[in-house]
Structure 1
Amino acid sequence: MKPFKYGTLAATLLASQPAFADTTILFNNFLGSNDALWTDVLAPWIGDIESATEGRVTFSVPAASLAPPPGLLNAVQQGVVDGAFQMVGFLRESHPELQLPLLPMTYFGNEETSVALWRTYERYFAGHNDLEDVVLLGLVTTPSGSFFNMAPEPFDSVEDLQNVKIWSLPGVTAEALAALGTVVTPGPAVRMYEVISGGVVDAFCCINFQSLEVFNVAQYIGSVTEVPGSLFAPAFAIFVRQDVWDSIGPADQEAILAVSGESLAHRGSFGDAPEAAARQRALDAGIPVIQADDSFTQTMTDAFAPIRQEWIDSVAAHGIDGAEALDFYLSEQANVVTGN
C-alpha cells in the first residue's frame, strides 16, 4: 500500500473547488464628494466590505456619475456600472413596494426608518417583485422634511394650504400635497433653486434643514411647520449586478452581507446630528418653527388615508399584504428606539 500523502490529497480537493478571482466593483456615485450620505454611510460601507473580504473585493468609484439618477438601476442591469444606489422614488412604476418610506407621516427618526425599512423588506418584500438582475444590499433613508412657507406666518391648518403654490418632488409626496388642497409644482431637486428664487411658488417641501443650505434656498424660508411623521423622507436602494455578485466567493458574499442590510441601515443615524444642527441654525436666524397641532395633524391624516390605501392596493398585485407591512414598518421604528 502506498503511503498516505496529505499534501497530494489537499491539492486535489482544492483543485476541485471553484476558483473565485478577486473582484473590483465599478460603483457609481452621483452625489458630491462631501455629501454626508456618501461620506458617512456609503464610503464607510465600501471600506467595511474591502476589510471584511481582506481586499478580495474592492471598489472603483468614477469621478463623475456614469448615468443620470433616474437611470441608475438600468445602468447596472445593462453593465454600464457594476453597482449603484438610487432614490426609490424613481422606481415607483416598477417597484411600488419600495415607495413605503415615501408615504407621508411615516418617518420617526433616520436610523429608525432605515432599520425598520430593511426589516420590512426582509419580512414582506423579499421574493416579491425583486429588482431584476441585481442583488439588493441595503436600504437607507435620509432626514425628512415638512412645510417651508416663504411667508413669515407658519401654516397651522389645512385651510391655510388651500390653493397655495408649493414646490415638491414628483410622485407620492406631490399627490399627498395635492390632497391637502395645494397647487403643486413638481420637479427635480436640481431645479428647486430656480423655481423658489424665481417666485414661482409660495412654499416648498420635501427637503430637510440641511438641504436648504445645500440647495441655497435657506434665505427664502419665512416660517416652518413640522408634521408628526413628516411629509417626505428620501430613501435609497443600494445594489450590485447579479453576475458580479456571483463572481464573489461564498465566504466573501457572507462577509459582505454581514456589513450590509441591517448593519448598513444602522448607519442611518449619520443624519440626525447634522440635521439637528441645521435646524438650530434656522431657529437662531429667527425663523419660526412650529409643530402642527392635533387638529391639523388629524386633518392631514384623514386626507392622506387614500394615498396609503393606493399604496396598499398597488403592492397587493405582487402578493404583499401592504396594510400589515405598513403596520410592521411603523412598529419596528418604535422597537429600534428602544434598542430592539
Structure 2
Amino acid sequence: MGIISKIGAVSALCLSIASVSMSAQAQTTELTVSSWLPPSHPIVEDMVVPWIKQVEEATNGSVSIKILPKPVGSPPAHFDIARDGLADITFGVHGYQPGRFVLTSVAEMPFLGDSAEATSVAYWRIYEKYMADKGEHDGVKVLSVFTHGPGVIMTTGDPIEQMSDLDGMKIRVGGGIIKDLAGAMNVVAILKPATQVYEILSRGIADGVFFPMESLAAFKLEGLLKNLTEVPGGLYNTSFFLVMNPASYDKLTDEQKAAVDAASGEAFAKLAGAAWDVADEEGRQVALDNDIQIMTASESFVGEIGTASGPIIDAWYVEADKKGVDGKAMLEEFKQLAKELEASN
C-alpha cells in the first residue's frame, strides 16, 4: 500500500472513530436533580450521590446525572418540580404538603422501630403492596420511598421526662402525623422545613424540635440544644420520596431504565436507611461530645404517647379506608416487617 493510500486508510479510521465517539456522545442522556438540602447532608452525600454513581456506572456513562447548584423551588414544592419537569429527579417529604398524601402516613407513626434501614425496606415493600396503584403519586415515576431513624424529642431547656413537661412548648415539626401528635401532646407545633430549624431555635422562636438523632450534626444544632429524650421505637418517623419525571424516564433506553430500576426501589431504601443509621450514631456522638443530656423515655411516658396517638391513628384508619386500603392491616404488617428486618440485621 502506497503512502497516500495508507494516509487515506488512517484518515478513514480516524473519521470512523470520531463518528463512533460523536454517536456515543449523542446517545448520552443528561438528567438533573433538584436538591433543597446542603451537599453535606446525609440524604445528598450518602444516599443520592451513591445512587447517581450506581446508575452512571451501570450505564457505562450513557446516563449522566447532575445535582443542580441551587434548588428549583422550596422544599414542599419538590414533588411537583419532578412532576412538571422543572428537574428530572427530586426527593422530599410527603408531610410537607398537609392533606395531599394520606396512605404514606403509615410510615410516620410512633413506635415503628429503632433502625432506619429496617423501616425503610419495610416501607418500600408496604408501598408496593398497598399504595403503588392508589393514585397518590400520579404524575411521577416513584423511584423509592424511605424513612429516617426514630424521632427524638430535642429541647433547648429542661429535660422532657413526661408528657406534662411539653405543655405549651413551641416545637418545630415536619408535618404529617407528628403535627397531629404534637397537638395531642399539648405542644404548639411550628411547621417548618428542616433547613429552617437552626434559625428558629437560635432566635428563640421554638423551644425544641422533633428530629432524628442525625440532625444534630447535619444542621449543626449542638450549640443550641441541652436535652434529648429518645422514645423506644421512635416518637415518630418521616416519609420521604425519591421521584422522577415520567417523560424523563421514558426517554431512556430499556437498558438505561433497567439500570435506574435496579438502583432504586428496595435497593435505594436499604442504602438510604443504612446511611441514616450511621448518621444517627454520628449524631449521638456529637451529643455526647457536647455534654447534651440523653435520656430514654420511661414506660409511663411511652404509654402516654401511645394514648395520645390512639385517636390520631384511628382517624387515619378511616381515611385509609376511603382510599380502598385496610389501614390497620397495613400498619400492623409494616411494624412486623420492620421488626423482622431489624432482628435479621
TM-score by length of 1: 0.86
Q: Distance in 2 between matches of 1:184 and 1:70?
A: 17
Match of 2:85 in 1: 79
Q: Structure 1 counterpart of 2:219, which letter? A: F
What's the secondary structure of 2:143's corresponding residue? strand
| Conservation of the 8 A alpha-carbon contact between 2:107 and 2:237 | yes
In structure 2, what residue type is equivalent to 1:48? Answer: Q
2:132 is matched with 126
Alignment of 1:113 onto 2:119: yes
Q: Distance in 2 between matches of 1:235 and 1:325?
A: 15
Residue matched to 2:256: 252
Identity within the alignment, %: 26
Aligned residues: 319
List aligned pairs for 1:81-100, cutoff 5 A: 81-100=87-106
1:188 aligns with 2:193: yes
CA shift digits 1:244-301 (9 cap, x unpaired): 2222233332332122101111112112223213213322433221111111111110
User: What amino acid is aligned across from residue 35 of structure 1 in structure 2?
Assistant: H
The equivalent residue for 1:17 is none
Which of 258, 261, 268 is 1:264 aligned to?
A: 268
Secondary structure of the equivalent of 2:34? coil
Structure 1 gap segments, 5+ residues each: 1-19
Q: Provide, for residues 124-179 of structure 1, a one-character-per-residue CA deviation record: whole Å limited to 9, x for no partner.
A: 11111241221101112223432123224x22222222233333333421220110
TM-aligned CA distance change 1:263 to 1:69, over 3 Å = same
Q: How does 1:278-289 map to 2 (within 5 A)?
A: 278-289=283-294
Whether the aligned pair in 1 keeps the contact of 2:29 and 2:63 (CA below 8 Å) is yes
RMSD of aligned residue pairs (Cα, Å): 2.2
> Which residue of 1 is the match for residue 336 of structure 2?
331
Q: Deviations over 1:295-321 (max 9, x none)?
A: 111111011011212222222222111
- Aligned-partner Cα distance in 1 for 2:228–2:289: 13
Letter in 2 for 1:307: I
Any gaps of 5 or more consecutive residues in structure 2?
1-25
Q: Secondary structure in 1 aligned to 2:233?
A: coil
* 1:210 to 2:210 alignment: no
Q: Which amino acid aligns with 2:49?
A: A
Tell me, yes or no, if the aligned pair for 1:129 and 1:318 is still in contact at 8 Å.
no
**The 10-residue stretch of structure 1 (210-219 or 230-239) with the greater mean CA deviation from structure 2:** 210-219
Other structure's SS at 1:80 match: coil
Partner of 1:178: 183
Larger displacement relative to structure 2 (236-245 or 190-199): 190-199
Residues 1:168 and 2:195 are matched in the alignment? no
Residue in structure 2 matched with residue 294 of structure 1 by the alignment: 299
3-state SS of paired residue (2:344): coil
Distance 1:83 1:273, change over 3 A: closer
> Are 1:229 and 2:239 an aligned pair?
no
